Amino acid sequence: MTTRRPPWVLAGVLAGLAGLATSYATAMVLTIRESPVVAVAEMLIRLTPGAVAERAISVLGHLDKPALVVGILVFLLACFAGAGALARRSWWRPVLVWVALAGVGLAAVVIQRSAGLVDALPVLVGLLTWVTVHSALNDALRREQRAPDLVSRERRVFVMVAGAVGLASIGIAVAGRFVGAGRRHVEASRRLLRIPGVTRREAPASTSLGLRGIAPWQTPNEDFYLIDTTIAKPVIEPEEWSLRIHGLVDRELTLSYSQLVARQLTESWITLSCVSNEVGGGLVGNARWSGVRIADLLADLGVADEADCVLQTSHDGWFCATPLETLTDDRDAMLAVAMNGRPLPIEHGFPVRTIVPGLYGYVSATKWVVDLEVTTFDQAVGYWTTKGWSAEGPVKIASRIDVPRSGDDVEAGEVSVGGVAWHQHTGIASVEVQLDGGEWTRAELGFVPSLDTWVQWTVTLDVPEGDHELRVRATGRDGATQTSVERAPDPDGATGWHTIEISAR
């Protein structure tokens, strides 16, 4: 009698899902930040060429990481089905599949920063589940082959599906309770945290020009852009956090959270922008950051003359090399503990992250920072630099039209145009707008408290009926005007004039 393939494939899929459930549950019970699937996803992110990563961000935006996880799960399901099909003729062939999958998961786990033996346990539990459950299901199918009249195949498959899925569901539910409780506890700690010296201050009224539709000068925490390589955000209690400063210094220093916030805090309005931001894009925001100046910390430690950079490392293993000069000059480069008057959100680096005005985040803005090594560029390299991006990332001057939007219909006549422009740690001197390639018209600028923030701008243009093209350019306080040359973000930031099309009726 020839056995149909579906029951064998189903057995492989059920065994695979059971293994995923038990490995995930084990990771959560042991309070390991990443399950094996997440570890594999983050390994793939680290191995992805920079151009491919940039393309994924531009096409998928914030959905790039969920899409990657879904892709991994689809691939796993295909492997599970393949293992099930192989079991029809041999018991050892599917074992090779399970071992190979576990090997990839184990490799992804052990290359993580500070990984130990305990981090490998979820992978081993998953492998044991795969082999054990699959063997049991295969034995049941073979017994049915030998004695098909004892129990109907449909009844047996139903029992197997119900039992395996039920166990997997219980495991995931218990794991979700553990991980949810841990997140809720840290969120509660964050909400109750009161940091001396942190103030809640509204943006100066003169920073806003009042044109509806322009991005608010102060970006709310919940609207601030999020770009990082981690899938499972680190959840760290303040009392468990510490920062080590070492390398080319006269003496090393390890700071606890309480020791850090006991130091003199500084508060500054600072605009952050992502190197992946396209011309006219939204990967930019402005907030009031509170923290301890890195320059003051390094001055106390005695930095060696040959040092020219600081290698920053995050709790999740991400790293970047930051020019030492930008951390020790007059700008407010800081270890930030608060954002807009409140402790940092978990997604933005709670309990501590770095902020460096004038640099793109890929070389400066380390969330969940735990290590600063004073070194040289000859000895250090950043995460994105290994993927072909520039070693130093000074922010390029940029401007954007927010009102009207591209494709909008407006009434012919006087049309209000407005947006934002930025050139952190240089400042914006002027913004000009051009209609249909004509003369440039200078815009009104809002007030800014420092050179490190963006500025709102507005202008009123006489727009006749018809289809039109608007473009904007900015000039920095150093006298340099934004270039019209269009370049992609890779390797050191996009350039070009933001241009939109409108219709006047």
Q: Mean pLDDT throughout 170-188?
A: 62
* Portion of the chain with pLDDT greater than 90, in percent: 61
Q: How confident is the model at residue 436 (pLDDT cuts 50, 70, 90)?
A: very high
Q: Tokens for 406?
A: 């591209």
Phi, psi of 499 (to 5 degrees): -130, 135
501 pLDDT more than 90: yes
> Rounded to whole angstroms, how far apart are CA atoms 223 and 350?
17
Are 405 and 500 contacting, i.e. CB atoms less than 8 angstroms apart? yes
Question: H helices within 432-474, ranges in order?
Answer: none
> Rounded to whole angstroms, how far apart are CA atoms 258 and 55?
41
pLDDT, residue 480, reads: 96
Q: How confident is the model at residue 166 (pLDDT cuts 50, 70, 90)?
A: low
> Rounded to whole angstroms, how far apart are CA atoms 377 and 228?
23
Integer angstrom CA distances of residue 49 from 44, 380, 479, 487, 490: 10, 19, 36, 19, 11
- Partnered with residue 473 across adjacent β-strands are 432
> Rounded to whole angstroms, how far apart are CA atoms 284 and 53?
19
Q: Mean pLDDT throughout 185-197?
A: 84
Considering only 182-186, 303-307, 364-368, 420-424, which range has the smallest mean pLDDT?
182-186
Chain-centroid distance of CA 375 in Å reads 26
> Rounded to whole angstroms, how far apart are CA atoms 304 and 310?
12
> Rounded to whole angstroms, how far apart are CA atoms 52 and 41?
15
258 pLDDT more than 50: yes
pLDDT, residue 2, reads: 47
Q: How confident is the model at residue 55 (pLDDT cuts 50, 70, 90)?
A: confident
Most confident of 131-140, 163-172, 282-291: 282-291
Considering only 52-56, 91-95, 182-186, 434-438, which range has the smallest mean pLDDT?
182-186
Ranges of beta strands (E only) in 172-316 are: 242-247, 253-256, 266-273, 284-293, 309-314
Q: Mean pLDDT throughout 353-361?
A: 97
Query: Going from the N-terminus, what domains does the chain have, and what CATH number goes with each?
Result: 5-189 (no CATH), 213-387 (3.90.420.10), 398-504 (2.60.40.650)
Considering only 43-57, 424-438, 455-469, which range has the smallest mean pLDDT?
43-57
Give, as one character, the DSSP assignment of residue 203. P
Report pLDDT digits (tens) over 5-54. 678 888 888 888 888 888 887 776 665 666 788 888 888 888 888 777 77
Report pLDDT digits (tens) over 268-324. 999 999 999 999 999 999 999 999 999 999 999 999 999 999 999 999 889 999 999
**Which one is predicted more confidently, 72 or 232?**
72
Q: Mean pLDDT throughout 468-474?
A: 98
pLDDT, residue 1, reads: 43
Quickly tell me which residue has 């790293």 as its tokens: 319
Pairing between β-strand 455-463 and β-strand 466-476 as defined by DSSP bridges: unpaired
**Which one is predicted more confidently, 413 or 6?**
413
**Which one is predicted more confidently, 437 or 178?**
437
> Rounded to whole angstroms, how far apart are CA atoms 188 and 206?
35
User: Would you tell me how many other CB atoms lie within 10 Å of the CB of residue 361?
Assistant: 25
The model carries a pTM of 0.74
Q: Tokens for 504?
A: 């006047």
437 pLDDT more than 90: yes
Q: How many helices (H) and strands (E) would you count in the chain?
A: 10, 19
pLDDT, residue 158, reads: 42
155 pLDDT more than 60: no
Q: Which of 244, 260, 212, 273 is nearest to 396 (CA)?
A: 273
Percentages (nearest 5) of helix, strand, coil residues in the chain: 40, 25, 35
pLDDT, residue 170, reads: 61
**Which one is predicted more confidently, 156 or 292?**
292
User: Would you tell me how many other CB atoms lie within 10 Å of the CB of residue 185?
Assistant: 12
Query: Average per-residue pLDDT in the chain?
Result: 88
432 pLDDT more than 60: yes
Quickly tell me which residue has 């299901």 as its tokens: 137
Quickly tell me which residue has 């498959």 as its tokens: 157
> Rounded to whole angstroms, how far apart are CA atoms 51 and 56?
9
pLDDT, residue 5, reads: 61
* Portion of the chain with pLDDT greater than 70, in percent: 88
Residues in contact with 409: Cβ distance below 8 Å, sequence separation at least 6, in sequence order: 502, 503, 504, 505
DSSP codes joined into one string, 235-269: ---GGG-EEEEEESBSS-EEEEHHHHHTSPPEEEE
Phi-psi region of 461 (alpha: psi -120 to 50; beta: other; left: phi over 0): beta
Q: Which of 225, 280, 277 is nearest to 405 (CA)?
A: 280
**Which one is predicted more confidently, 472 or 64?**
472
Q: Mean pLDDT throughout 182-208?
A: 85
pLDDT, residue 90, reads: 83
pLDDT, residue 164, reads: 57
161 pLDDT more than 80: no
Chain-centroid distance of CA 278 in Å reads 17
59 pLDDT more than 80: no
